[in-house]
Structure 1
Amino acid sequence: MIPLRAPLRRLIAAWVELRLIEPAVDELDLDPALPVLYVLPHPALSDALLLESLCRAHGLPSAAGRRQVGEITLPACLALPSPGRRLWRRTARLEAPFLGLLEQRRSHPEHEVQLVPVSVFWGRAPGKRFGFWKMLAADSWQFTGRLRRALSVLVNGKNVELHFGAPLKLGDLLDARGATLANRKTARLLRVHFRRLRTRVLGPDLSHRRILIEGVSRSPEVRQVIAEQATSENRSPARLQKRARRYGREIASNMAYPVLRFMDGLLKRLWNRLYDGVDVHGLERVKALAGDHTLVYVPCHRSHIDYLLLSYVLYRDGLMPPHIAAGRNLDMPLIGPLLRRGGAFFLRRSFRDNRLYAAVFNEYLHRLLSRGHPLEYFIEGGRSRSGRMLAARPGMLAMTLRSYLRSAAGSGQQRLAFVPVYIGYERIIENASYQRELRGGKKRKESPLALLRVLGQLRQPFGRVTVNVGEPLTLAAYLDREVGDWRHALGEERPAWLTPLIPRLGEELCRRINAAAALNPVNLVALVLLATPHHAIEVSLLERQLALLADLQRRRPGGVHASLPAGTPSDWIDQVVALGMVERRPHPQGDILLADAGQAGLLAWYRNNVMHLFALAGLVAFAFRHRPTHRLEALEALLAPCWPILARELVIEPPASLREGVTEMLDLLVDQGLLERTEEGWHCPEEPLEAGERLRLLGQLMQPSLERGYLLLAVLLDAGPGELVAEALAERSRQLAERLALLSGLDAPEFFDTRLFASLVESLEREGWLWREEERLVFDERLRLAARRSRELFDPALRHRLQLITRRPNE
């Protein structure tokens, strides 16, 4: 076999294409002064030959031949021993081959060695029966024999991943217990590493779909509901059991490795056709958890592309694609079966009144989570038509928490982490439909024909798309912080603390998603251009304002994991023009950038994606709109009533101290030349005049939100305490906002979105300014004083205009 090794290695090198090497070769933390021994999880000639070829090509320490370490000679590439097999029994586990090295290292510290674990995946498949594909195609949880490995190399040579582990030094493993125990400890650490990596890449072992559905329908929880309904509704248990299986087939995914590979190739072509590139940030936070946590991805939902994009990114970067909760409306001919085999499971929009369906869905979700399958669902419920982060829906979060508590009450070993993900687009395919729906148009039903219409748009430019991973939330740590003694209630189906906790968990996840927002050329230009009276601005001023926004994000981030685009402000403007989102008109005195009414309406969606990142900067700048000088104490008192309400509307984490946050922002605006500091406080500079214009543009970002608050308070205070219910207050405020928009020439339907006013009412209740008595909204003099103080933010002209809007028709 040895004489054939060299030609086999050359054959492997010529045939195999590595789709992923992780980490990159130049990022390996190898000590060049120490010898290297590579360790494979099990003996495999194909893996060893591939590793030898890779090391030669990239200048790494050789994996071929033997390595002399002191008095010991060992192969440069070792493998953890696998138990031998016989027809009727399995031999005992062999000892790992590091004992001699450890004994030598104990006696001679200068003979240090670094072990580098290496995992090779020839294709990737969950452990599931795929007939002929299982024999040929891919790595799964079952190790393969020589013939099947040879066939796998032949079939999967163009789809191979290689993962390096962190180098492990023998000296770090030795202790007083001796080399024998250190040898076992080394083998155990390596096996744990290989198992966690295999879980991260392949996901947990999948049951056959038919067996899974049968298990769900016959679970004690489902059978209990069947028995209760059979008694209460006088129905046959057998028929209800059959219905439960039908529900299971309607819900369950059918993830198939051939489809994953097909979709990987298809989506790669789609992204190359549709986008200029996909930028990914923060995926290392997922990889740090994936080996020993059940992952629940919770992305924002802005486009139907979200379903496909996140799975593609995870698969491309060596992570198992999640099972995705999708609306039943997407289970349409042609599309539904493909999505189902790509990992989608389908749920009805509402199943509160169908106990059997709810039981089947809950049990299916629990089995996915308890077995460690990664999951993905959109906590907003639907796509955001306004571009803002929508309030989290409680349904899937509640089911996830109940499943976790049920698992914790059993084994108590499950680790679960929510992974917030922000997906940002320079241009979305739903532009036209969102604008139509915001203006009152009916949402069109999804269909294969609608998909064909979307495919007709693929020749248009869509720019780049960004996927940012936020700060993961480990559920046990969150429950320890928010509940404390939650483990004492593990036997209860619905602990008393569960219902009030779910909205808080949803808000926390939404804040973490927003904290990872992606700034791109389109939303940056939208932030500035829509702050101008006529949606037109000189390009030179626009460039300076874009640089200001970028610098504000760098120096005092509105989101800790938010990202900025590459390039300069000039490059960003060129990109937005190229996408057809704005028009650039040459002029002898300097080019002008402008947007017509249609373009401005579209840009509002992109502005709303990221406006929250500049909430505090915009609010502080707005305070200088008509009062040129402020002292810190007076400014804090002026902003204090509205800041918590604004922070909740924009779904952001407010600073621990408003005073410290305002002070930092004031100093930053001084550094930018937009404010000056004197003994009297902070004030607007008289020169240059452009500084005042740039400060006004920054403050304009918060004006729509502040105007909405003004209108709602005006309606509430005019009616008096105990006169209005929440729905009537929100609707009356919406009508006034619509009137203001029409009279101001503001073509922005999202400005008078009823949900924004309903959220404002909830925020006032949460902050203690309002409370309910027999469903009527009640307040006291504190609200009148706070409203009076907040009105001082508005200049007299703007205040007069708002007062005219709020006057009754007969006044």
Structure 2
Amino acid sequence: MPQHLMNLAQKPLIRLMSLWVKPTVLPVEPASLIDPQAPVIYVLESGGVADATALSVIAERTGLPAPLEPIQYGDQSEPIRLSVLQRRPYLFARRRKAMAPRLTRALHTATRDYPGELQIVPVAVYWGRAPDREDSLWRFLFTENWEIGGRTHKFFTTIVHGRRTLVNISQPLSINALLKTETRPELLERKLFRILRVHFRERRIASLGPDLSHRRMLIGAVVADKAVQKVIAEESRTKSELAEQGNSQELSPESKTDTPNPKLLQKHLYRAEKYAHEIAADVSYPTTRILHRLLTWLWNQLYDGIKLSGVDRLKSVADGRELVYVPCHRSHIDYLLLSYILYEEGYSLPHIAAGINLNLPVVGGILRRGGAFFLRRTFAGNKLYAAVFNAYLKEILQRGHTLEYFVEGGRSRTGRLLPPKAGMLAMTVHAYLRNPRTPVVFVPVYFGYERLLEGKAFTSELAGNKKRKESILGLLGTLKSLRQQYGTVHVNFGEPILLNDLLDTEYPNWREQAVQLDRPEWLPPIVDQLGASIMQTINLSASVTPISILATAALATAQGAVSQQELERQIRMNHQLLATLYRTSNVVIPPLDPIDTIEHAKRLGFIIQRKDDIGPLIFIKRGQSAPLTYFRNNIAHLLILPSLIASAFSNSTARSTKSIQELVQLAYPYLQEEFFIKDEASDARIVSTLNTMKDMSLLESTEGGWRRAPAGTPEAISLLHLAASVTPSLERYYLTIAILEFAPEQSISRKELHARVESCAKRLALTHGKIEGDLYDKHLLKTFLGTLEQRHHLREKEGFLSVHADLEALESKARTLLQQQSRHAILNAAMQSISQISVDS
């Protein structure tokens, strides 16, 4: 049948089908990809009326050229602008690996005498978005890439998934660009065919994920892994009663034999399978669809919206690479939110590492079918479990599944990033090194909330109460929170970290090193560097929320009370300062209005307004200081350098540029470690920040340096409030150093130091209104002590800590960063704490 008659027959059918087919398109505005002046030929992967219908619906909706309309370029005309890379075969027909005639004619025309541009636009249509599953009846009937009886299959998938279809329109391929690399038509044809075939395959994996092997087959592959079999064999050679009880503790050589015990071999094989079942995800497409609908409803109930940034950075690395999402961990919502966003953006769902504490009755099964795999908090003392988990991670990586896990290990209770844990990172890198086929890319993700579902629990824990164990009752208790408002969620994809690039930088000869079952000795430093890079990139991808800016301003005030006028000025100043300092970075700083921000915080229940004879006052609501501290800490790292500069004027009205630089550079390395800051405090960067603060009238330049605004002026008050952002960390350092210096020689251990700092923090919270969590946090104190040791200011001998003589000189200079009242209160608490040691001893 002639093509124009086929078009006439297809168009009514497409019109009819479009009443049912309601596809989603990515990107949302595909017309922006295409040059309207150049002719367009769409290329479908496998064709068919159904795919043409989906594309036609999208073209009409978004203003794209209609795919079934004629096209003219040069002396060549075509009845439609739609081509197919590979036709879907009839029953038992073999797929032909040849270019479609319409594309072939386009290439021949371009190589002869057509001077203009011609755009080849790949279009992938996914009906239902379910990955293939081996040995699955669902796959046989209704999923993509079914080979037998293609047209019959397409009919059923259109009926079942017509309203759950994704149309992914890619960046056009330029014929002129291809002609620069090859002019012979037959070779150009092969090249374009190869480019399109690879593109569609990589796009399919990025959007749907690889084939989902039957869970039983995956578990079988895990148990058969060489490392797992090695541990099973080792533990089956023992005669010890310890092994009879299934314990994997290291056994003495005399308790082992050369020949595996068949009984024990079977026992440990069963244990390995049991561990694999405990760990493995069981992804279910019906569950995914139900969860998508449920989460859409939930977000509408909880949040004013989800603001997404940095998707282009994800798109730049999504195809042809193994993605590992490494978000910061603020809330249990993180798991669901990232998967939801990836699904909405057209990417395959990741396999998510979740703590075994979430494997609750009913809930655990749902999470497992949504992509979660579970791991125990510790692998210590159980070599077989560790081997099985490593083998599972290796299998899902090598099969091309995307991964997601939280390198902090647990949720941050303070709003600061926690130090990265090396476990999952080391296992991922080791798994890649064993088979470095598909490049691995780590994608840091920042979550910025304005209120947390776990807010009350976190506040209780910060007050010193014991952490509550997850339970069904606890989960049901959170349902009451659905009636409350939680503001807007901000999500930002950071700059991807390419593992190969890191390996090339840190260990250039890694490709020549054969890596098998055991981790190489050179791996730990690289994993540490990777963890630090992830944390730094997350912080460099922060989203500044209105609540975090308000919290920074409100907590800088005495007793949490301030005039509304002053609070508005401080919010405006913080926002302007951040927007100026980070205008060329990946930090997201949306525009805001101070009055709207205050009203927003009132609606979320953080502050209240009262009036006196002078005007309106803003107070932090009772019990809301801790939650606001959490959100202040989310962005505290962004203000470290200007806050340090502001602190340099806490006890001085004027300073030289050199003295400011010296003072800032004394304290900055410790803050850099605590807040995972990548950039150094170079002389040039300090001067640049000083000039920014001058432009905002926070400082004045003089012939010899810099001067703060006159006392009592709004600018002087703003400078004082800006200094308050870094004050909690400086006070913690000062308290720790004071206790170390006051303690007699050989009298204070690391454990005792933690106890003394904690007791002083509690005392200062009672006597001076300090926030206890600001002055003592075990993770932050550990980091600070580590930095002191690295810089040779602190040493440990026979279990006791002692300071180097130069630390006292450093402390005498750095103390001027704190106000005198704070220093005296801290010194007094430290001396009383040390005198208690003498009494106790």
1:258 corresponds to which residue?
286
Q: What is the deviation of 1:269?
A: 0.4
Give unpaired runs (5+ residues) of structure 2.
1-5, 244-260, 837-841
- 1:85 Cα deviation from its structure 2 partner: 6.4
Find the partner of 2:750 among 726, 733, 737. 726
Give the stretch that moved more between structures: 799-808 or 574-583.
799-808
- The yes-or-no answer on 1:207 pairing with 2:235 is no
Q: Does 1:45 align with 2:49?
A: yes
Equivalent residue, structure 1, for 2:270 = 242
Report the secondary structure of 1:653's partner residue. coil
CA contact (8 A) 2:14 2:53 kept: yes
Aligned residue in 2 for 1:288: 316
In terms of mean alpha carbon deviation, does 657-666 or 249-258 score higher? 657-666
Does the residue aligned with 1:593 lie in a helix, a strand or coil? strand
Query: Does 2:560 match 1:556?
Result: no
1:685 CA drift (Å): 1.9
Aligned with residue 187 of structure 1, among 179, 189, 193: 193
| 1:332–1:448 Cα contact (<8 Å) kept | yes
1:122 is the counterpart of 2:147? no
- Verify: 1:617 aligned to 2:623, yes or no: no
1:302 partner SS: coil
Q: Which residue of structure 2 aligns with residue 270 of structure 1?
A: 298
Residue in 1 that maps onto 2:247: none
Q: Percent identity?
A: 38
For residues 475-501 of structure 1, the C-alpha deviation after alignment (integer angstroms, 9 at most, x for no partner) is: 110111122222333336222221233
* Residue range with higher mean Cα deviation, 62-71 or 238-247: 62-71
Q: 1:644 is matched with which residue?
A: 669
In structure 2, how many angstroms separate the alpha carbons of the residues matched to 1:51 and 1:558? 39
Please tell me the residue identity of whatever aligns with 1:40. Answer: L
Amino acid aligned to 2:154: R
Alignment partners' CA distance in 2, 1:140 and 1:517: 40
For 1:633, which of 650, 653, 658 is the aligned residue?
658
**1:111 Cα shift?**
4.8
Equivalent in 209, 213, 224 of residue 230 of structure 2: 224
Deviation of the 1:3 alpha carbon: 4.5
2:23–2:163 Cα contact (<8 Å) kept? yes
Question: Which letter does structure 1 place at the counterpart of 2:554?
Answer: L
- Please name the residue that 1:145 is paired with: 150
In 2, Cα distance between the equivalents of 1:618 and 1:706?
A: 11
Q: 1:356 to 1:325 in 2, by over 3 A?
A: same
Distance in 1 between residues matched to 2:74 and 2:395, nearest whole Å: 52
Secondary structure at the aligned position of 2:446 is classed as strand
Asked whether the 8 Å contact 2:74–2:114 carries over to 1, the reply is no
- SS at the partner of 1:641? helix
Partner of residue 375, structure 1: 403
Alpha-carbon distance in 1 for matches of 2:671, 2:749: 22
Give, in whole Å, the separation in 1 of the partners of 2:147 and 2:389: 29
Change (3 A) 1:3 1:163: same
In 1: Cα distance, 2:476 partner to 2:583 partner: 39
Give 2:815's aligned residue.
791
Separation of aligned partners in 1, 2:311 and 2:387: 34
Q: CA deviation at 1:460?
A: 0.7
Report the TM-score when normalising by structure 1.
Answer: 0.95
Contact kept in structure 2, 1:126 and 1:140, CA below 8 Å? no
Give CA-to-partner distance per residue, 1:431-453, whole Å, 9 cap, x none. 11111112222222212221111
* Partners of 1:82 and 1:221 in 2: CA distance: 44
CA contact (8 A) 1:96 1:183 kept: no
Matches of 1:538 and 1:589, distance apart in 2: 9
Aligned counterpart, 2:433? 405
Distance 1:389 1:437 in 2: 17
Alignment CA distance shift 1:142-1:760 (3 Å)? farther
| Contact 2:418-2:779 within 8 A present in 1 as well | no
Q: Deviations over 1:515-570 (max 9, x none)?
A: 21221121111111111111011112211211111112211129932222443122
3-state DSSP class of the match of 1:551?
Answer: helix
Q: Cα–Cα, structure 1 residues 535 and 137, in superposed 2: closer, same or farther, change >3 Å? A: farther
**Aligned with residue 13 of structure 2, among 8, 12, 20:** 8
1:664 and 2:668 equivalent?
no
Aligned pairs for 1:504-515 (under 5 A) are 504-515=529-540
Decide whether the 8 Å contact of 1:422 with 1:467 is kept in 2: yes
1:685 to 692, 702, 709: 709
Taking the aligned partners of 2:476 and 2:469, their CA distance within structure 1 comes to 14
Matched residue of 1:39: which SS? Answer: strand
What is the correspondence of 1:439-518 to structure 2 with a 5 Å cutoff? 439-491=463-515, 493-518=518-543
The offset of 1:2, in angstroms, is 4.8
Q: Residue 596 of structure 2: SS of its match in structure 1?
A: helix
Distance 1:86 1:163 in 2: 27
CA distance in 2, matches of 1:86, 1:146: 8
Question: Are the equivalent residues in 1 in contact too, given 2:447–2:491 (CA < 8 A)?
Answer: yes
Select between 15-24 and 303-312 the one with higher mean Cα deviation: 15-24
The one-letter code matched in structure 2 to 1:199 is I
Contact 1:199 1:290 in 2 (8 A): no
Q: 1:173 aligns to what?
A: 178
One-letter amino acid of the counterpart of residue 409, structure 2: G
Matching residue of 2:32: 27
For 1:784 and 1:748, how far apart are their aligned partners in 2? 25
> By how many angstroms is 1:604 displaced?
1.2
1:807 matched residue in structure 2: 831
Cα distance in 2 between the residues matched to 1:724 and 1:560: 44
Query: What displacement does 1:327 show?
Result: 0.9
Q: How many Å separate the matches in 2 of 1:312 and 1:566?
A: 26
CA distance in 2: counterparts of 1:455 and 1:780, whole angstroms: 54
Shift of 1:808: 3.5
Mapped to 2, the partners of 1:366 and 1:283 lie a distance apart of 27
SS in 1 for 2:624: helix
| Pair 676,750 (structure 1): closer, same or farther in 2 beyond 3 Å | closer
- Structure 1 residues 70-85: aligned runs within 5 Å: 70-74=74-78, 75-82=80-87
Q: 1:239 to 1:674 in 2, by over 3 A?
A: same
1:187-227 CA deviation, whole Å, 9 max, x = no partner? 11111211111111011112110110011112221111100
Between 148-157 and 765-774, report the one with greater CA deviation.
Answer: 765-774
Q: CA deviation at 1:109?
A: 3.6
Say which SS state the counterpart of residue 654 (structure 1) adopts. Answer: coil
* Aligned residues of 1:604 and 1:748 also touching (Cα < 8 A): no
Structure 2 match to 1:760: 784
Match of 1:310 in 2: 338
Q: 1:659 to 1:721 in 2, by over 3 A?
A: farther
Contact 1:558 1:612 in 2 (8 A): no
CA-CA distance at 1:715 after TM superposition: 1.5
**Distance in 2, Cα, partners of 1:780 & 1:107:** 80
What corresponds to 2:257 in structure 1?
none
Q: Which runs of 5+ in 1 are unaligned?
A: none
Asked if 1 retains the 8 angstrom alpha-carbon contact of 2:47 and 2:88, the reply is no
Maintained 8 Å contact 2:89/2:147:
no
Q: SS of the residue aligned with 2:349?
A: coil
> C-alpha separation between the residues in 1 aligned to 2:807 and 2:650?
24
Which is worse superposed, 244-253 or 225-234? 225-234
Letter aligned with residue 446 of structure 2: Y
Contact 2:132–2:212, Cα closer than 8 Å, also in 1: yes
- Do the aligned partners of residues 602 and 34 (structure 1) sit closer, same or farther apart at CA in structure 2, a change above 3 Å counting? closer
What secondary structure sits across from 1:701 in the alignment? Answer: coil
Shift of 1:136: 4.9
Kept in 2: contact 1:601–1:748 (CA 8 A): no
CA contact (8 A) 1:116 1:167 kept: yes
Equivalent residue, structure 1, for 2:595: 570
Q: Are the structure 2 counterparts of residues 653 and 516 from structure 1 closer, same or farther at C-alpha, using a change threshold of 3 Å?
A: same
Tell me, in whole angstroms, the C-alpha distance in 1 between the residues paired with 2:621 and 2:667.
Answer: 33
How far 1:122 moved relative to its partner? 1.3
TM-score of the two chains, using structure 2 as the length reference: 0.92
Given that residues 558 and 614 in structure 1 are in contact (C-alpha distance below 8 angstroms), is that contact kept between their aligned partners in structure 2?
Answer: no
